[in-house]
Amino acid sequence: MNSMGRIQATLSGQPLDRRAFAPVLGLYGARLTHCPLEQYYTDPAAYARGQSAVRETFQPDVLCAPLAFASIGAAFGSELVFLDTLPPNLRRPAIQSVEQWDSIVFPDPDIHPQLLYFRDVIRRMAAEHRGEVPIAMVIPIPADIPAVIMGLETWLEIVLFDPAGAQRVMDTIVPFYVRLVNGFFAAGATFVVMPCGFASPAIVTREIVTNFTRPILAKVLAQLRGPVVLHNVGAPLLAHLDLLTGLPAVVGFIVDQRDDLAQARCVAGPDNVLFGGLDCANIGQLTAAEVEDRCRAILEERRQDARFVLGTSGPDVAWNTPPENIHAMRKAAESFGKIDT
């Protein structure tokens, strides 16, 4: 069974040869190939080479396209800063208030180089690993996109205190977002992972999720041409997980290290895939033996769960994580051999 078969079997709850193992190693490819990050996050060939190295080194069951949210903001005019050991970040958002929204020029996903970068990466990765390893594209949910255009504080203020303004912004974001993500599927993304900032219990209230985030998400998901996994965005998700179930196109959830996996399974229902594992920031702080022990404990707890995948929570596995710690995760997954349903 190869990685594609393993993930497909997990999705459909079929027997597995072993647990699937899906850490987020987008950034780590640059470390493996000694590629400067400005090149890595602007040159599709450089990124694809990094992911080939990730596959060769760790044999994960999912490969990730760039997790570089700020680059989406840059397509709208936000100023980027390239860092030595992190994905690019926003130096300055494109606008500072909702009044400036109408002056924003929407980038064309078929033409804009910043957006074509993502699509080209996916195309290259799909061509190289097609049928063997699933390719996941990671992009924040639609309600998070304005934060990379106007900054989190401005967007939070609009969502909280100017509901009409927030709706006006989202009315223009939705068609753009649908086109962008369907372009990712057309390029070869197997599934899309969506970190849910404006659905996270750490960030917004249940009322905001219910009345704002979820209706927009439902509208978008109904128009997408591929499966979607919703992601914890680096904070516990369980308290809002019930608000994210029953949405079209969603096939799974990546929960946080601090979430109770058994409870998450109850809320997510039996048919969704549940990804769980150690937090990206913590993996590098542990010894390889500790990583393996903790992953084994997680896998032991989910032994009867046919639709569980050992992943990581949070963003990318950190740059300074020793490779032996990532090998330790894989070793733990491999030790949980044949899984019958």
Partner 1 sequence: MTIQQALIEKIRLADRPGANALLDAWATEHGYERLLAEILDPTLILIGEEWRSSETFTLAQVYVAAKVTEDVLNKIVDLRKPSPADQLPKGPVVIGNIEEDFHALGRRMVGTFLRTDGWIVHDLGNDVPAAEFVDKAQAVGARVIGVSAMMMTTARHITRVREEIDRRGLTGRIQLAVGGAVFRICPGLDAEVGGNGTAPDALGAADLFDRLWKQSVRKEAVA
Toward partner 1, which CB reaches closer, 190 or 282?
282
243 belongs to the binding site for partner 1 (CB under 8 A): no
Residue identified by tokens 């022990």 is 293
Question: Between the CA atoms of 286, 288, 291 and 294, what dihedral angle is there, to the nearest 10 degrees?
Answer: -110
Toward partner 1, which CB reaches closer, 56 or 207?
207
Burial status of residue 329 (CB atoms within 10 A of its CB: 0-12, 13-18, 19 or more): buried
**Shortest distance, CB of residue 315 to partner 1, whole angstroms?**
8
Q: With DSSP H G I counted as helix, E B as strand and the rest as coil, what are the percentages for the chain, rounded to 5?
A: 50, 15, 35
| DSSP letters for 137-182 | EE---GGGTTHHHH-HHHHHHHHHH-HHHHHHHHHHHHHHHHHHHH
340 belongs to the binding site for partner 1 (CB under 8 A): no
CA atoms in the 13 A half-sphere facing the CB of 123:
12
Query: Which parts of 19-78 interact with partner 1 (CB under 8 A)?
Result: none
Toward partner 1, which CB reaches closer, 102 or 207?
207
282 belongs to the binding site for partner 1 (CB under 8 A): yes
**Shortest distance, CB of residue 168 to partner 1, whole angstroms?**
19
Toward partner 1, which CB reaches closer, 10 or 78?
78
The candidate with the shortest Cα–Cα distance to 46, out of 26, 30, 59, is 30
The candidate with the shortest Cα–Cα distance to 93, out of 109, 85, 81, 111, is 81
- DSSP strand E in 245-319: where? 250-254, 273-279, 308-313
**Shortest distance, CB of residue 281 to partner 1, whole angstroms?**
4
Instruction: State whether residue 63 is helix, strand or coil.
Output: strand
Which region, judged by CB under 8 A, interacts with partner 1, from 56-64, 87-95, 119-127, 324-332?
87-95
Which member of 12, 245, 287, 320 binds partner 1 (CB under 8 A)? 320
> Which strands sit side by side in the sheet containing 273-279, from one edge to the other?
21-22, 308-313, 273-279, 250-254, 228-231, 191-195, 135-138, 63-64
Which member of 45, 83, 127, 222 binds partner 1 (CB under 8 A)? 83
Toward partner 1, which CB reaches closer, 91 or 225?
91
Which region, judged by CB under 8 A, interacts with partner 1, from 61-69, 79-87, 172-180, 182-190?
79-87
213 belongs to the binding site for partner 1 (CB under 8 A): no
Toward partner 1, which CB reaches closer, 101 or 319?
319
Toward partner 1, which CB reaches closer, 83 or 222?
83
Q: Which residues pair with 222 in a beta bridge?
A: none
Which member of 86, 247, 288, 306 binds partner 1 (CB under 8 A)? 86
Q: Which two tokens stand for residue 67?
A: 């997790």
CA atoms in the 13 A half-sphere facing the CB of 12:
8
Which region, judged by CB under 8 A, interacts with partner 1, from 34-42, 85-93, 116-124, 126-134?
85-93
Which region, judged by CB under 8 A, interacts with partner 1, from 44-52, 120-128, 195-203, 323-331?
195-203
Which member of 13, 165, 226, 284 binds partner 1 (CB under 8 A)? 284
Q: Which two tokens stand for residue 160?
A: 């909280």
Toward partner 1, which CB reaches closer, 81 or 262?
81
Instruction: Please state whether 259 falls in left (phi above 0), alpha (psi between -120 and 50) or beta.
Output: beta
φ, ψ (nearest 5 deg) of residue 232: -70, -10
Binding mask 156-175 for partner 1 (x = CB under 8 A): xx-xxx--------------
Task: Note the residues at the interface with partner 1 (CB under 8 A).
Answer: 81, 83-86, 89-91, 151-153, 156-157, 159-161, 200-205, 207-208, 234, 236, 239, 279, 281-282, 284-285, 315, 318-320
